Amino acid sequence: MKSRYDVVVVGGGHNGLVAAAYLARAGRSVLVLEQLGHVGGAAVSEAVFPGVDVRLSKYSYLVSLLPDQIVTDLGLSVRLADRSFASYTPFARDGRDLGLLVERPDGSATRASFAEVTGSDVEYGSWHEFYGRIAVLAEDLAPTLLEPLMGIADLTSRLRDPSVLAELRDLPLGELVGRWFKDDVVGGVVLTDGLVGTFADVHADDGRASACFLYHLIGNGAGQWRVPIGGMGAVTASMAAAARRFGAELEVDATAGHVAFDASGGEVGWVDGSGVEHITGASVVVSGVAPSVLAQLRGGLGAVARPVGAQVKVNMVLRRLPRFRSGIDPAVALAGTMHVAESASELDAAYAAAAAGLLPDPLPFEVYCHSLADPSILGPAEREAGYHTLTLFAMQTPVGLFDGDNDARRAEAARLAVEGLDAVLAEPLSECLARDADGQLCLQAATPVDLENLIGMTGGNIFHGDLSWPYAGEESQVGRWGVETDEPRLVHANAGGALRGGGVSGIGGHNAAMAVLSMQPVSSAPPRRPV
Ligand SMILES: Cc1cc2nc3c(=O)[nH]c(=O)nc-3n(C[C@H](O)[C@H](O)[C@H](O)COP(=O)(O)OP(=O)(O)OC[C@H]3O[C@@H](n4cnc5c(N)ncnc54)[C@H](O)[C@@H]3O)c2cc1C
């Protein structure tokens, strides 16, 4: 290891790895420092239950936002499986157990399901028109995420139908969705994309739910959420392999303690797994850590408020798929995203409860089964025995609810999640859950506080902060990459610091690398290979 690099990347999450790969590919000497014993941050796979050979995507689990361009540029071996169903929403109405099924692409079963649930073809027609317009926006907008920032006027001129973005910016998401959809269940399914990892009142005009909604529908120009074959860890492993292949050095068990700059450049102080302290010089430092973590490393410079994370993730392993009260085939119900307690009125009630300091009851959440699309994450014995995974992501559960007594609130949230599933199942979930080597049910919950403690996601915010609109908010940002800081030799690659970051996209990493490559060289060490 050298004492000085062209670039030191602090934090080996997927964005740090993407930045490192691009910069090493361009001939820069690059060192990545990751505090944990492995890279990947929130994009990792792990066998979390002792004695159960199932490699779950421990935190993030579906891929939409990762552009094909990054996959191609870096030669990533990422494989993504399509899901044949987009969603299923079981619910009870007038004593009947029903469900709204949306195929991908939608066809006769979707139309029939809308008719049964809403009583006519009107909502189905609105659905088609609404998402058809968004599909056009996604195609036009997605490529701009890998370009320097434009002002809103220039961006708008690139859109075939600018009205969709204008409506999203101008109206509270709840009002926009309410204009299109009258059915409580249908409206709720649409609204959920505005609340993933974002604590928001969909009726407020603060734009938070709308920006979140936008990013959930424009990924890679199609907005399709696909299953990473081999789990999310396979995606990150491919990024790490690319970074190494291009010559970057990845150091795990390497905790950065300070980042500072003087006339000669930057320096990063860090401690290795044996407790030995190191100081590494760098012409440029790339931050792969949350902005609030970076501010601590800089002794408080650029401090930001603790962001609010708002989800509970529950990982489960099942002995077999459960039966549903509505009678639907569980392999259909769980193939796409299953929405539970996520009608528009239930989402409103959940927000009101959480804002009043209570865990929402019923708990709104989404569930899907990875192993239906990709059994490769199951060990041979588990596959043979018919095991499956279940991934549950609850909403409107802000970090403040967990700050006092995280253990008790985690247990309560897990109980509410199980109750929510039991309400739509024809048998108790517990009868289907597998047991680990200690005889415990295979169910593991992580709260926003857990994320903060385990992987440095401040406030448990899965995007490191609120998602931003995909254009320059100020004139001074136009033509820049949206990753700059107050220090010219320090850029953000991380999800929250990089405008247009957030999610497993690598966009923050790409844009950080492009910003570094566009800088005037300040290094005394020349690039090892031509750029
Ligand atoms: C439960 C959950 C579910 C999610 N689901 C999805 C999903 O399905 N699809 C999707 O697209 N997105 C999802 N997300 C969001 C997505 O995972 C994140 O936005 C994304 O992974 C952030 O990547 P990053 O590289 O910017 O940061 P991170 O993944 O947070 O990586 C930061 C890295 O920095 C390291 N670090 C912190 N401090 C230091 C230090 N002092 N020194 C050295 N290293 C340090 C951390 O250990 C970590 O490895 C989910 C997130 C969570 C938590």
All residues at 6 or more sequence positions from 378 whose CB lies less than 8 Å from its CB, including other chains:
53, 54, 371, 387, 388, 389
Under the banding of pLDDT at 50, 70 and 90, the label for residue 156 is very high
Tokens of 185: 């269940």
Q: What is the pLDDT of residue 366?
A: 98
Residue 123 pLDDT > 50: yes
Q: How far is CA 463 from CA 118, 199, 498, in A?
A: 35, 12, 10
Q: Which two tokens stand for residue 352?
A: 């009101």
35 Cβ below 6 A of ligand 1: yes
List phi, psi (to 5°) of 85. Answer: -125, 135
The finding on whether 52 has its CB within 6 A of some atom of ligand 1 is no
How far does the centroid of ligand 1 lie from the alpha carbon of residue 428, in Å?
A: 33
**pLDDT at residue 427 above 70?**
yes
Q: Is the pLDDT of residue 421 over 90?
A: yes
- Choose which residue among 215, 462, 491, 494 to substitute to test ligand 1 binding: the one with the highest number of ligand atoms within 8 A of its C-beta: 462
**327: how many CB neighbours lie within 10 A of its CB?**
10
- Give me the DSSP letters along 333-400: HTTSEEEES-SHHHHHHHHHHHHTT---SSPPEEEE-HHHH-GGGB-HHHHHTT-EEEEEEE-S--TH
Return the percentage of the chain with pLDDT > 70, whole number: 98
- Atom 4 of ligand 1, nearest CA residue: 60
> Is the pTM of the predicted complex or chain greater than 0.85?
yes
Residue 462 CA to ligand 1 centre (angstroms): 7
Question: Tokens representing 409?
Answer: 């609130």
Residue 234 has a pLDDT of 98
Using the predicted structure, report yes or no on whether residue 528 has a pLDDT greater than 50: no
Distance CA 387, CA 54 (A): 9
* Residue 395 Cβ contacting ligand 1 at under 6 Å: no
Residue 153, burial from CB neighbour count under 10 angstroms (0-12, 13-18, 19+): exposed
Pick from 182, 189, 224, 187: which is nearest to 88 by CA? 189
Mean pLDDT value across residues 358-382: 98
The mean pLDDT of 18-32, rounded to a whole number, is 98
pLDDT tens-digit readout, 82-97: 998 999 999 999 999 9
What is the per-residue pLDDT for 487? Answer: 97
Dihedral through CA 421, CA 425, CA 427, CA 429, nearest 10?
-20
Does ligand 1 lie within 6 Å of residue 183's CB atom?
Answer: no
103 to each of 118, 332, 510, how far by Cα in Å? 17, 9, 33
- Is 6 a pocket residue for ligand 1 (Cβ < 6 Å)? no
Amino acid code (one letter) for 90: P
pLDDT band, residue 524 (cuts 50/70/90): very low
Ligand 1: distance of its center to the CA of 15 in Å?
Answer: 8
Q: Strands 277-287, 4-10: parallel, antiparallel or unpaired by DSSP?
A: parallel
Average pLDDT over residues 488-494: 97
CA 137 to each of CA 102, 214, 222, 406: distance values in angstroms, whole numbers, following the listed order: 21, 10, 9, 41
Find the mean pLDDT for residues 330-356: 98
Q: Provide the 3-class DSSP secondary structure of residue 79.
A: coil
pLDDT band of residue 531 (cuts 50, 70, 90) is very low
Between the alpha carbon of residue 31 and those of residues 58, 274, 425, 507, the distances in Å are 26, 18, 50, 20
Indicate the pLDDT class of residue 105, thresholds 50, 70 and 90.
confident
Mean pLDDT across the chain = 96
Atom of ligand 1 nearest to the CA of 457: 30
pLDDT in the model for residue 106:
84
Q: Domain 4-46+64-78+229-304+468-517: which topology?
A: FAD/NAD(P)-binding domain (3.50.50)
Say whether pLDDT at 260 is over 50: yes
Q: Does ligand 1 lie within 6 Å of residue 256's CB atom?
A: yes
Binding site membership of 228 for ligand 1 (Cβ less than 6 Å):
no
> Which residue lies with its CA nearest to atom 36 of ligand 1?
11
Q: What percent of the chain has pLDDT over 90?
A: 95
More confident residue, 304 or 275: 275
> Which ranges in the chain are annotated with CATH 3.50.50.60?
4-46+64-78+229-304+468-517
Mean pLDDT of 14-43: 98
**Which pLDDT score is estimated for 32?**
98
**What gap in Å lies between CA 201 and CA 353, rounded to an integer?**
11
Binding site membership of 11 for ligand 1 (Cβ less than 6 Å)? yes
Task: Give phi and psi for 486, each to the nearest 5.
Answer: -70, -15
Closest CA to 311 of 370, 233, 364: 364
Residue 521: the pLDDT is 64
- The pLDDT value given to residue 523: 47
pLDDT of 220 reads 95
When pLDDT is averaged across residues 507-513 and rounded to a whole number, the result is 98
Cα–Cα distance for residue pair 531/529, rounded to 1 Å = 6
Q: Which residues pair with 337 in a beta bridge?
A: 87
Cβ–ligand 1 contact at 41 (below 6 Å)? yes
In which band, very low, low, confident or very high, does the pLDDT at 520 lie, cut at 50, 70 and 90? confident
Atom of ligand 1 nearest to the CA of 256: 42
Is the Cβ atom of 59 under 6 angstroms away from ligand 1? yes
